[in-house]
Amino acid sequence: MSTQLLVVDDLHTTFRTAAGLVAAVGGVSFDLATNETVGIVGESGSGKTVLARTIMGLQPRSNVEVRGSVLLDGHQVVGASEREMRERWATDVSMVFQDPMTSLNPVMRIGRQIDETLRVRLGMDKRAARARAIELLAMVGMPSAEHRYRAYPTQLSGGMRQRVVIATALACSPKLLIADEPTTGLDVTIQAQILNLLDDLKEQLHMSVILITHDLGVVATRTSRIIVMYAGRIVEMGATRDVFFRHRMPYTRALLESSPKVSNPSHTRLRVIPGRPPNLSTLTSGCAFAPRCSSASERCHQERPSLEPAEEPGHVFACWHPLAATELHEAPR
C-alpha cells in the first residue's frame, strides 16, 4: 500500500433535533490508500450517507456537531469553514449523489452544470470549459455528447442522468471520489454499466473511491476492502475476501444472506433480517444489533463490544459471540 490519502479517526456526527440528540455517526475510524476502493455497506439508516457527507465536510452548518478527525490529503476537514472547503471540493474530493432524479438542477442545461465547475474552480474560459464538458460527457459514455450538452435533465433517462452526475463529479479530477449509492434508483442492467464505468475511471484517473451501498453484491468484485456499518458504527471491516468468506459478525452474515446471488436458483427466497434498524436517538449502552440478533446474550444488551482484530491482517469485528473463524461461509456470487 502506498501513502494514506484519507485518515478518519474517531469521527462522531451528532444532530440536535427536537427529538433529542441523534448520533448518526458514533466513533468511526478507518483509512484509505491512494488508488484504493473501499466499500461501505449497511442498511438504510446505518449512517453511511451522513458519514460520507461528514468526510466531505458537506453536512448542514446548523444543529450538527462533528468531533474527531478527518485528514484528507494531509489537511483537516473537521472544523474547516465552508470557505476553506470550497477550495477543496471538486478538486480534492467530490461526490456522486444517490438520486440522479433530484441531484441535477431541473432548470439548467446539463452542459452548464458541468462546465460551471470548470469555469469557477479551474478558471477555464467559456469555450475551453464547453469543450472539456463535452469531453467529460463522452468519457462517461454519453451518446452524442455534443448534442446532449444542451439537454435539460428531464429529457434524459435515469442512467443518463447518473452519467451526468458522475461527469460533474469528475470534472476537476478529484483525488477522492465518494459514490453514495450511485446505482440505487437505476435498472439492474444500468447498475452494472455505471459501476463498471466508475471502475474504469478510477484506473484512468488514479482516484481513490469510497463506494457506499446497501447491496453487498455491488461491492463484491470492485473493492479491495469492505466496511460494514450498523447504527452509526463500524461493526466489521476487512479485506473484501475476508468479509465475504470469514466474517465474524452475525450482522454481516445477515446482510450477505439478504442479498441476491447469481449462484442461487431463481425464486430462491431471500432471508430477511428480522426487526428494523434501531432509532438512533434512543441507543442503549449495549450492542445496537442485539435486539435483532439470534445469538444475543444478556451481555450484548448491557455492554457494547469494541472492534477486535481477527486472525487475518486488517480484519476487525465488534461482537461478543463471533461466528466461528474457521467456518468458510457460503460463497458469494
Give the interface with other proteins as residue ranges (CB under 8 A): 15, 17-19, 22, 24, 44-45, 47, 49-50, 53, 56, 58-60, 82, 85-91, 94-95, 97-99, 102-108, 116-117, 120-121, 152, 154, 165, 168-169, 171-172, 280-281
Cβ distance to other proteins smaller for residue 108 or 192: 108
Cβ distance to other proteins smaller for residue 64 or 239: 64
We find the least distance from the C-beta atom of residue 219 to other proteins, in angstroms, to be 20
Cβ distance to other proteins smaller for residue 172 or 323: 172
Cβ distance to other proteins smaller for residue 142 or 280: 280
Cell numbers found for residue 318: 465488534
Cβ distance to other proteins smaller for residue 41 or 171: 171
Task: Report how far apart, in Å, the C-alpha atoms of 303 and of each of 14, 158, 290, 300, 318 are.
Answer: 21, 45, 10, 6, 11
How far is residue 283's CA from residue 158's CA, in Å, rounded to a whole number? 37
Cell numbers found for residue 216: 453487498
Cβ distance to other proteins smaller for residue 8 or 118: 118
Q: Between the CA atoms of 194, 200, 203 and 207, what dihedral angle is there, to the nearest 10 degrees?
A: -20
Cβ distance to other proteins smaller for residue 39 or 42: 42
Q: What are 286-292's contacts with CB under 8 Å, separation 24+?
A: 287/318, 287/319, 287/320, 288/230, 288/231, 288/232, 288/233, 289/230, 289/231, 289/235, 289/250, 289/251, 292/254
Nearest partner of 229 among 5, 80, 8, 3, judged by Cα: 8
Residues 6+ apart with CB under 8 A from 215: 41, 259
We find the least distance from the C-beta atom of residue 17 to other proteins, in angstroms, to be 5
We find the least distance from the C-beta atom of residue 319 to other proteins, in angstroms, to be 24
CB 274 within 8 A of CB 293: no
Cβ distance to other proteins smaller for residue 24 or 296: 24
We find the least distance from the C-beta atom of residue 308 to other proteins, in angstroms, to be 27
We find the least distance from the C-beta atom of residue 168 to other proteins, in angstroms, to be 7
Cβ distance to other proteins smaller for residue 44 or 297: 44
